[in-house]
Every structure is written in C-alpha cells, then in structure tokens.
Structure 1
Amino acid sequence: MNNLATLLTEAARADGGRVAIRQEETVLTYARLNDTAARIATLLQTKGVRPGDRVALAMPNVTYFPVAYYGILRAGGVVVPMNPLLKAREMAFTLRDSQSRIMLAFPLCADEAAKAAAETGVECLITDPAAFDALLEATEPMVEVADRTENDTAVILYTSGTTGTPKGAELTHRNLMSNAATAAETLLCVGPNDVLFGGLPLFHAFGQTCALNAAVAAGATLTLQPRFDPAKALKSMHQDGVTVFVGVPTMYTALLQAGIPDGHDLSPLRVACSGGASLPVEVLHAFEREFNVTVLEGYGLSETSPVAAFNSPDRPRKAGSIGLPVRGVELRLVADDGTAVGPGEVGEIAIRGENVMKGYWNRPDATAEAVRDGWFHSGDLARTDEDGYYFIVDRKKDLIIRGGYNVYPREIEEVLYEHPAVAEAAVVGVPHEVHGEEVAAVVTLRPGAQTTADQVRDFVKQRVAAYKYPRIVTFTDALPKGATGKILKREIVVELEAPED
C-alpha cells in the first residue's frame, strides 16, 4: 500500500489511545483521528470524488485540517491546500487551475470560499463544527484505504512565485512518505513520546512534512496553533511539554523578543529546527543561549517535499550552514551553463532524489525548465566548504549587481542582525543611473531601541567591502511576510534615492 494515508492507519493500529492532535482544550487520539478521516473519505465518495480527483482544502491549523487531509488521501483524492486568508479571486484561480471537484473550507474563510466556489461551479463544504460534526456522525467510515501507486500525485502545492501566476507542484505519495520518514527518523529523531509544535501553516510543505506527517509517522503528538503568536506559542510549549520546535526565522526572532515568561518550564524542548529562509547566525546563537537548545538549520522547497539538506543531529552542526544532503537526496552546485563549480565557488543548487516533485501541474514547459536531466534547479545560490557542507549565499533572483560587482543580500543582512538595535532586516536592490543597482536596507527596530540611518549605514560600512554596504537605509514598523512568516522582498518598496557616493 503506497497511500500516504497509511501513515495514519498504521499509527492508529499501533496505539489508538495515544494523543495525535492537540489544539488548546481539543484533543484527538489516533483512533479518533483515523475514524473521523475515514468518515470524511466516505463523505467525499458520496460527493463523487474518485481516486485522482483534486480536493481543495482551505483551513488554518485547526483539528479539521489533519482530519480532512488524511480523509482526502484515504479516498484516493489529491489534496490541494490553500491559504485560508486568500481572497475569492485567488481561490478561484487555484480551483480552476487544479480542476478541483470539491472544496472543504473552514468558517474563517467561508465568505471568500463561497464566492470562489460559485464563480467556478465547485461545490464548497464549510466545516462549521456543529453541523459538520453531525454530518460526519451520520456517515459510515470508509474501511479500506484507496490503493495508490508511489508515483501517483498525493498533494498539489501552489508555489507563490516571484513572477507570473502560481504553479502547482505535484508531490507524489513516495515523495511525501519518504521525506516525512527522513525528517522523523534521521533529522528530528521523533518518537511516540515527542510533542511537536504545530505553528507552521499545514497548507505549506514545511508544516506538512516536518510537523504533521513526521509526527504521524512516529506516532507522536502535534500541538496546533492556528496563527503564530509568540506569547501563545510559549504558553503552548510550556503547557503541552513541546519537545521539538519547528519554525521559520521570523518565529525565532519573535520568540527571542518575547522572552521566556516567569514560571514557564521549557526544559522538555530538546531540538529546534529552522527552515523556509536563512536563519541569521546572530539569531541562532541568541536563541540557543536563551532557550538552552540546539538549533538545526535545513533547506528545502515546495518542489522537493520540502527537505533537501539538513544539519543532522549525529554530525557536527555548522552555524550558518544548511548542512548536508538528506537521505535519498543528492545536491550539486552548477554555473549558468550547467557545469559543476568547485568548493568555495558560488553556484546554483540542483537537487535530485526521491523528494523531487513529479512536475508542475499542467505546466510541461515550466517543468522542463525547472527539471533538467533529472535535476531540479532551485534558483538558490550556495557554496560548499572543505567538509561538503552547503552555505546559502542568496536567491539567484535576489542577487544585486552594483557597478559590476555581485552583492549577496544575505551577507549584508547577517551584519545588520549584529546591530544591537535591529530586530529584522531585508536587503534589496533598487535601480541606479550610475551603478545599475544600489544596495538598500529596510529594517525594524527592537522594542525601545533607537538609532539613525547614518549609524546603521556606518555600522555595516565598517564590516564589509565599500561596494557592499547599503547606501539607503529606511525603517519600517513591520516587514511584509507570507503565510509561513517568510519576508517577502518582492513587496518591499524603497522610495528614497541613493546618494551619489
């Protein structure tokens, strides 16, 4: 049986009484989660869903998400997760593009989901707790799990993309099962007694694989938080005895700024995992000191299920590095012409292995451009050291070329994070008549901190080459972020002109 849903059926069979999902006072055991998912599967069948049909899922991190997720898979359907904060126009695009047969939506987004469903002619079921629970109680559970091959699509994840419309990455049952097993067994070393923090959006690859599927694969507990809030996260970590924290860099920054409240016991926490974007080294070290835990940084993309590289717990951890390729995955660095680059040289990360997507849904041209000779080209620039560890330099598209010199924003951001007044920073390129592009930094300050643009500029100027420091420094109350907390550089607008020097 190659269906991803068997992760749940096996966990329920091993110990149905163990807590699978916790959301504040709501608790689902593995037996209850499995039974409810089986009822969802039957409900979908009565709605005409057949193996291979796409089913859209618009929900935050609530208990209905894992129930619906495994229910769709159990029926043989393909899960099409959507950010519940999308507007009707955006939802309608996904429904049309994926050719979804039906949509399951949480009351939070009922209005927008209903509009999108009406526009596309797709039936929409709102999982209003009282009515939906009654409907499921009157539905018999689907006994069997639909048989799927390992190469059948299990999930279509729509990537945000920096240009054009989103593309749907087709992840197979094998992609997701193998990546979840790798995360649980070799990276996070999760067991039945572990409690994983579920603050990452489950509609995103990182949250699905490293939180939901990894927890279920190990028979562990996942404690959900519908929307990340540092104070609520710390309370949940204390009350639920979280042992594994999985998050993105902005979560680590927020937790550091909040600080551990008096009376909160976080001693069960044994490992923290960061991904989704580069974690500033200064933030990593500060978090380890404050929370007394090792932070392991990894790397991946929606198209790679997502984990491709990681600082494994059984090898030396290198701060600032994404580690080594994970089990079943190969990485290499290539130049623009496709030739390999040597140690210390910068090249684009290419990935091959059991985690690489089947392709982009109904986008053969985009698939052919991204996957060449079996290697997925990530668009991320990196270098390796003498031990083979990978270090992200920057996104290929984020590279700034000032006066013919390459400036990698991440390098400048690392320096900015060393400034005692800076809480968050993003470095972007802006057009310049003389230099082609100018380096600009947009920063937020720590609570109560004060500094000036000149002081920040001079701080960086003393630490990097003359062509690299940001001539433009602006302050903002908050940087634009996506659903996972990743800073969205494409939405940053710098209005100031660069000085002439």
Structure 2
Amino acid sequence: MRSTINELPNTFNIAAYLIQENLKQESNNKIAFYYKEHTYTYGQVSNLVKRSARLLSGLGVKRENRVSILLNNRPEWIFYFLGAIWLGAIPVPINPGCSVEDVNYILQDSRSVILLTSQEWQMKLSPLTSDYLYRVLLVDGQESFISLLSCQSELNNYAQTSPDEAAFWLYTSGSTGRPKGVIHAHQSITFCASQYGQETLGLNQRDITYSVANMAFAYGLGNSLYLPMAMGAASVISEANNVFDIIEDIKRYQPTVFFGIPSVYSSILELEEIASFDASSLRLCVSAAEQLPKSIWQKWFDTHSLEICEGIGTTEFLHVFLSNQLGKSKPGSSGRPVPGYEIKIIDENGLPCSIGEIGELQVQGASLMLGYWNRLSETRKAVFGSQMKTGDRYRRDRDGFFWFMGRKDELFKVNGQWISPLEIEGVLYQHPQVREVAVISESNDGQHLTEIIAYISLKEEEQLSLKLERSIYQFVKQHLPHFKAPKRIYFLAELPRTPTGKIHRQLLKNKSSDLPLVMTS
C-alpha cells in the first residue's frame, strides 16, 4: 500500500482504494469478512458496496450529504459506510451505547438525511426529532437493507474526491458534554493503515483480525474495517456482547490478531478456570481505549505466553499514535511514537518537559482531524497547525517510552505533590480479589483538604466481607505512602462506563456523595 500522504494522487477516494487495490492483487475470491456462518470475499464486498452507493443515490443522497449508521457490528454496516464514501457522501457512525437523547442530538447536529438502523432502535427513537432525516433503512424486517441491495445495479463510477476532503465523521463520547463531530479526510485512513497497521503491527494479507470494539469507535473502525482491508487481510465481524461470546468466537474463527481492551483482558483471565481461552492461533494481542494495568499484562503473558502491545490514540487522530511493539514493550507504558507522528510532552508554558517530568501530551501527524463540526472555537483551542494538545498527562523515560499519568483534570495534589490516580490503581489491581478499580479525588470543604477515594469491583466469585475490606485497605497501606492511600473505599458491583467503554470517572465524582460508604480509615 502507499506509505505516505505525499504519494497520494490529487483525486483519491478511500472506499475505491480499499476495494480496487485488493481486486488488482487478484484477491477477488479471497475472504475479506467473516460473520456468523457467512463469509464475504473481496469481490462480493465490491459488489455490495457499489450496490449500496446506487441505492443511496436513488434515494436522493448527494455528494457531501451526511448519512448515519446506528448498528452493532454487522456486514451491512461496512457496505453502507463504504458505499456512502464511494458515492461522495459522508457516513456518520453512531455508537449503539449512546442514549436516545444523544442519538437524536447527533442526527440533528450532523444533518443526516438517511439512517441505517434496526427495528429495535427505530422503536426507541420514535418519534424521530431530526429536521433533516427523510428516510430510515432497516437491517431487519421484510424490506431489509440487503433485500433492497439485491434490486440494485452496481454504481461503477466512484466520486472523484480529494485526499484531503472530508470522507466521514466520528463523534466523541460526550462524557463531559455534548458529543462532538470529528471530521476526517480520505487520507487519514491510508496514513493510519500504513504507519500503525503495517509499520508498527506488521499486519499482512495472511492475518485474520478480531476486535471487541464497535466500528462506531475510532479504535473499532480501524481494527475491523480499514486496517485489514488495506493489507488484503480478513476480519471477523462480531456482535459479541459478553466475554463468553468473545472466547467462543476466538475458538471458532482462529484469528491471528486480537484487538482487545483492558476490561476484556481482565475478564478473560478471571474466567480462565470455567471458560478457557484458546490463544493458539494468535500471534499478536493489542490493547487501547484506556490504560492497561501492568499486573494484567504480566498475568496474560504468564498464562498465554503472549505480549499485549498497548497503545493510545484519540478520535481526533483516528487511531493509535503511541504503541508498544512485539519484543519492544514496557508493560504499563503506552509505548513509543508510531512512525510518522511527532510527540512531545510540554509544560504549562508550552515548553518541552525534561525526562521524567509530567506534562501535557502534544501530538503532530497527518491523521489529525480536519476539525470539529460547528465547533470553531473548540477546534482552534485544540489544534495548532498540524498538532494538537490531547489533554492527557504523560511522562517520558530515558528509553523514549511514554507513561500515561491521567487526564489533565484527573491529577491532584496531596501534601503539595502531584499524584496520578493510576499509581494507586496499579497497586490495588495487584490485590488478588480486585477486578476493577478507579481512583478519584474529592475536596473536603470543611478542612480544605483533598481526599483520595477508591471505587472497587470485586471478582465475580468474591463476596464482600469485613475481612476482605480490611485486607484490601491493609494491602494499600503496605504498598503506598500514607498520603497516597485512599481515605475512603466504595465497593460497586460494576464500575460505570462511558459509551466508548472507558471507566466513567466524572460520573463517579458526581455521584460519590450518594454512594453507600462501606469503609473509612
């Protein structure tokens, strides 16, 4: 595949590129996607994408019109997404984990004219409140999307788009406000595929990828769709909604690359005795979305003899820009810069931080978004030319590895020292009965002091008891200085999560006073 943005022609359509490059390589009959008992070759994908483009055109969709997708992972998602880009329209994936309110907001904000969804979601959204939407297509029911495609001819001429014009939008999770529409260009996909997929992970046409993330997420979109397609590889499209289903999928499809998230790795390890994970086909395991505790990395390696290549990316940069590599990993770190990205840690004055000093992460790379839709002031605050401050606090070690210390608004001072909640969480994760943990700070208004609070969920077989509470608290006191030990600990059945699957720390902060206190120092 083309390795740099500079090599792209003036006319470039990423949907056409992903399809035609594979057909040029005589991969017409090569499997592109696995879904349940079905397989789809690159030739079949080409046909269905072109029919999807024809259908949208027949429904009155014009170039640059927005068209939305609200679905769990399934093949229709892919045909619709690429078909829209082929036509020159702009697909807008919506996370099925969003609330009805946020879905309606995204439909209105994006001015989408067509929505592809399910009957279940159609009922939830009834009545639709968007002023722009004029047609809803369904993947189920008598007049399904696939049945409509069967009546269409192929639209062979794709839109003559530019590599740097808008190709698709992705919406941020909106955990601290309304979701923001992130606009990405056609060229962004080729950059991520070449620099991360090819150069960093070494993906190739023999690979079969499996991802636990929904394709409405930047992480899932890359893992399941354009990273494997750019390499001529295959991808498993899975609707798995629990760890048992994921374990069964891995056994069934025998993928070579597993794109997970920390909570999934933790849950698989927790269930090892009752649902063994068959890792025999895997050559590579990847993690992103949030920080992977070092203890989970080590236990996974001890159990399956596989490293987890952790990385970090953002919706604004489309995919991963910091990553570990096989044989070049430091457990607990986010790795080193993906080729093609320039990454710095800067202080409050914008000056580079010294080694070991905590500062804000600043990233520069060709996959940076074109901007936030209808958010000019927020775009200008975030983006400086081709670089962006991410809001993440990091430090860099002497070997060039970057270590996540928390979001900018998550670090806090105790006894005049900056404290990262991840340090405390890392200790708590080492306790054998702890499944998940989140640490936040809370101001004690009466004494004007900052208190450290921990929220813990226990492993499924564990029952909360006074003895266990004391064991966990004593464990923390033994492994942390007294001023870093949590003053209060809450036990929850499950930690709340954002629509993107991350632990919802802001929600914990807002609700902490309403939760039952089970232990104090």
Shorter chain as normaliser: what TM range? over 0.9
Which residue pairs with 1:84 in the alignment?
Answer: 96
Contact 1:195/1:242 (CA < 8 Å) preserved in 2? Answer: yes
Amino acid of the residue matched to residue 388 of structure 2?
Answer: F
Letter of the 2:223 counterpart: C
Equivalent position amino acid for 1:106 in 2: S
Percent of counterpart pairs with the same letter? 28
Cα contact 1:251–1:485 (8 A) shared by 2? no
Aligned: 1:474 with 2:490:
yes
TM-aligned CA distance change 1:119 to 1:489, over 3 Å: same
> Aligned-pair distance for 1:226?
1.3
Match of 1:3 in 2: 13
Deviation at 1:440, TM superposition (A): 0.7
**Is contact 1:248-1:484 (8 Å) kept?**
no
Instruction: Say whether residues 1:304 and 2:317 are aligned partners.
Output: yes
Query: Quick check: 105-114 or 246-255, which moved more?
Result: 105-114
Match among 22, 39, 42 for residue 30 of structure 1: 42
- Does 2:110 match 1:94? no
Asked whether 1:61 is paired with 2:79, we answer: no
CA distance 1:22–1:483, change in 2 (3 Å): farther
Task: Identify the residue that residue 346 of structure 1 maps to in structure 2.
Answer: 358
- Structure 1 distance, partners of 2:74, 2:314, is 24
Q: Compared with structure 1, are the counterparts of its residues 118 and 355 closer, same or farther at alpha carbon in structure 2 (3 Å cutoff)? A: closer
**1:420 maps to which residue?**
432
Residue identity matched to 1:2: F
Q: Deviations over 1:382-423 (max 9, x none)?
A: 000111111111111112333543221111111110001101
| Aligned-residue CA RMSD (Å) | 2.1
Match of 1:286 in 2: 299
Normalised TM-score (structure 2): 0.91
Q: Which of the numbers 452, 465, 472 marks the counterpart of 1:456?
A: 472
The answer to whether residue 454 in structure 2 is matched with residue 441 in structure 1 is yes
Question: What is the distance in 1 between the residues matched to 2:21 and 2:133?
Answer: 37
Which amino acid is 2:374 matched to? N
> What code does the residue aligned with 1:386 have?
R
Secondary structure of residue in 2 paired with 1:83: coil
Contact 1:17 1:31 in 2 (8 A): yes
1:77-476 aligned at under 5 Å gives the runs 77-116=89-128, 121-128=133-140, 131-132=143-144, 133-259=146-272, 265-313=278-326, 316-433=328-445, 434-450=447-463, 452-476=468-492
Q: C-alpha distance in 2, partners of 1:121/1:107?
A: 16
- Out of 21, 29, 37, the residue aligned to residue 17 of structure 1 is 29
Q: In structure 2, what is the Cα distance between the partners aligned to 1:118 and 1:384? A: 46
Aligned-partner Cα distance in 1 for 2:51–2:454: 52
- Paired AA for residue 348 in structure 1: E
CA contact (8 A) 1:158 1:169 kept: yes
- For normalisation by structure 1, the TM-score amounts to 0.95
Question: Alpha carbons of 1:99 and 1:489: their partners in 2 closer, same or farther (altered >3 Å)?
Answer: same
* Residue type at the aligned position of 1:388: G
Task: Specify whether residues 145 and 260 from structure 1 end up closer, same or farther in structure 2 by C-alpha distance, changes over 3 A only.
Answer: farther
**How far off is 1:299 after superposition?**
0.7
Is this contact kept in 1: 2:108–2:130, CA < 8 A? no
Distance in 1 separating the partners of 2:276 and 2:474 = 41
Q: Is the 8 A contact 1:193 1:220 kept in 2?
A: yes
Paired residues of 2:455 and 2:491 also in contact (CA < 8 A): yes
1:46, CA displacement in angstroms? Answer: 1.4
Is the aligned partner of 1:52 residue 2:64?
yes
Please, which moves more after superposition, 357-366 or 476-485?
Answer: 476-485
Partner Cα distance (2:520, 2:252) in 1: 56
- Contact in 1 for aligned 2:113/2:133 (Cα 8 Å): no
Structure 1 window deviating more from structure 2 (37-46 vs 461-470): it is: 461-470
Distance 2:178 2:34 in 1: 35
Structure 1: any 5+ residue segments left out of the alignment? Answer: none
1:78-98 Cα offsets, whole Å, 9 max, x none, are 121101243432222111111
Q: Secondary structure at the match of 2:128?
A: helix
Could you report, residue by residue, the CA deviation over 1:107-138 in whole angstroms, capped at 9, with x for unpaired residues? 34222345336665442212226522221111
